[in-house]
Structure 1
Amino acid sequence: MYGDAEPIRMLLSHAGISYEDIYMNYQEFQKIKEKDQRFEFQRTPILELDGQFYAQSYSILRLLGKMYGYYPENSIEAWKVDSVMDQSYDLEKNYLKQFFQTDKEKAQNLKDNYFQNQLPTYCEKIQKRLIKAGNIFIAGEQLTIADFVNVAWAYILPYNIACQHSQEHIEVISKYPDLVAYFDRMTKQVKDHLDKRPLGLGY
């Protein structure tokens, strides 16, 4: 799966930083997560940097963003970035709820609510934020970690052929032209990574 590490990979690729990317399947991780001291919170991804291990995907993104110029120094500008990332995280959680619901009718209701209400609301809010920021990047004229989070989401779900609901996502997103244009611009920013990443992985 591409998972929560995808925006991290995109950032490193965009910054021209060489790195070793280790994929691990679910079964492998379950066997080692409690005993392996590298996984402080028993979750992936983790980042190894100068012999130290760092956990939690958004914390890693902020760390690397500050190191390589993708995270604002100004507190208000940082809030703009963080709030978009938090909203994206909430959307992902809402999408995944259907897969953990064992009752088929309830799972269908969760899916319907996501595509009919939650995803359109997200697209509307993000498009408004984008327009307000000048219609270049999500937080203004500078590329930030929030942009990597957004385009990673786009290439994990809507633009990912392995996603079973890819078309449903695209049908909703297509109603927001400024958002579509934004994803097109961001695709060019992360093209090197997209050209190299494994194909056909799920969320």
Structure 2
Amino acid sequence: MSGKPRLHYFNGRGRMEPIRWLLAAAGVEFEETYVEKKEDFKKLQKDGSLLFQQLPLVEIDGMKMVQTRAILNYIATKHNLYGKDLKERALIDMYVEGMFDLNELLMKHGYLPANEKDQHFADMMDKAENRYFPVFEKVLKDHGKDFLVGNQLSRADVQLLEIILMAEEWKPDVLAKFPLLQSFKARISNIPTIKKFLQPGSQRKHLVREEEVSKVISIFY
């Protein structure tokens, strides 16, 4: 038996957060080693742990995995969260790639200088409300099921819930025009493993705080 996956990243969301979400949704317990300072990051680079000199890094099943999408693909495949056939997997990939685009906007916002935030916020919410969320509202309507793809939970559902909750942190009424997404949010949030992850005290990370931004920047830049 291999041990629990070990996640190496700073103590915050970033590109590791979708990995935390997917492991939690799969009911997999994991441990975390936080990169607290630039020296920690440099050590991982020097000892050969980081194939492309970048985090996140996940030690899992005897491998040192890097690259967020590769890690998520592995976890989703291992835990039956990647559809039942090639066509379902293609749909999941297509939806998830769109989610990554929106996730980048949401993730970046907290790290921007004050003079760029207003314009970025307007652009971010315009894209959420007029480009991305309408797509997933239509997908749910056309599919007519509880999930985005097929008849069971997939990584696409997990990542969409994560993004919905992030968007609501910035704009609480962002789903006002999307009744199917509102129902989706309630339904997926109540899946036992996900409900547990949403409770206080879980390994889910909070929205980045202003005082944390400089620390993160000092580690990686």
**TM-score of the aligned structures, taking structure 2 as reference length:** 0.74
Distance 1:125-1:22 versus aligned 2 partners, 3 A rule: same
Provide, for residues 15-41 of structure 1, a one-character-per-residue CA deviation record: whole Å limited to 9, x for no partner: 333322333346465443532422222
CA distance in 2, matches of 1:22, 1:111: 32
Give the 5 Å matches for 1:86-101. Answer: 86-96=97-107
CA distance in 2, matches of 1:30, 1:11: 24
2:53 corresponds in structure 1 to 42
Give the 5 Å matches for 1:16-165. Answer: 16-25=27-36, 27=38, 30-96=41-107, 104=115, 107-115=117-125, 117-120=126-129, 121-155=131-165, 157-158=166-167
CA contact (8 A) 1:135 1:182 kept: no
Say yes or no: does 1:173 pair with 2:183: no
Distance 1:70-1:44 versus aligned 2 partners, 3 A rule: same
CA contact (8 A) 1:46 1:55 kept: yes
Say yes or no: does 1:201 pair with 2:177: no
CA distance in 2, matches of 1:40, 1:19: 22
Runs of 5+ unmatched residues, structure 1 = 160-165
CA contact (8 A) 1:9 1:193 kept: no
Distance 1:29-1:187 versus aligned 2 partners, 3 A rule: farther
Provide, for residues 84-129 of structure 1, a one-character-per-residue CA deviation record: whole Å limited to 9, x for no partner: 111011112334565676582x5532321222x2111211111111
CA contact (8 A) 2:175 2:182 kept: yes
Aligned residues: 193
Secondary structure, in 3 states, of the residue corresponding to 1:82? helix
Distance 1:188-1:4 versus aligned 2 partners, 3 A rule: farther
Distance 1:178-1:23 versus aligned 2 partners, 3 A rule: farther
Q: CA deviation at 1:182?
A: 0.6
2:184 corresponds in structure 1 to 182
Name the amino acid aligned to 1:192. K
CA distance in 2, matches of 1:184, 1:42: 39
Say yes or no: does 1:5 pair with 2:16: yes
**TM-score of the aligned structures, taking structure 1 as reference length:** 0.80
Bigger CA drift: 7-16 or 188-197? 7-16
CA distance in 2, matches of 1:200, 1:17: 17
Provide, for residues 127-185 of structure 1, a one-character-per-residue CA deviation record: whole Å limited to 9, x for no partner: 11122222411113111111121122234x235xxxxxx242x2222221111111111
Question: Alignment RMSD, CA only?
Answer: 2.6
Q: CA deviation at 1:68?
A: 1.4
CA contact (8 A) 1:134 1:141 kept: no
CA distance in 2, matches of 1:93, 1:10: 16
CA distance in 2, matches of 1:10, 1:94: 18
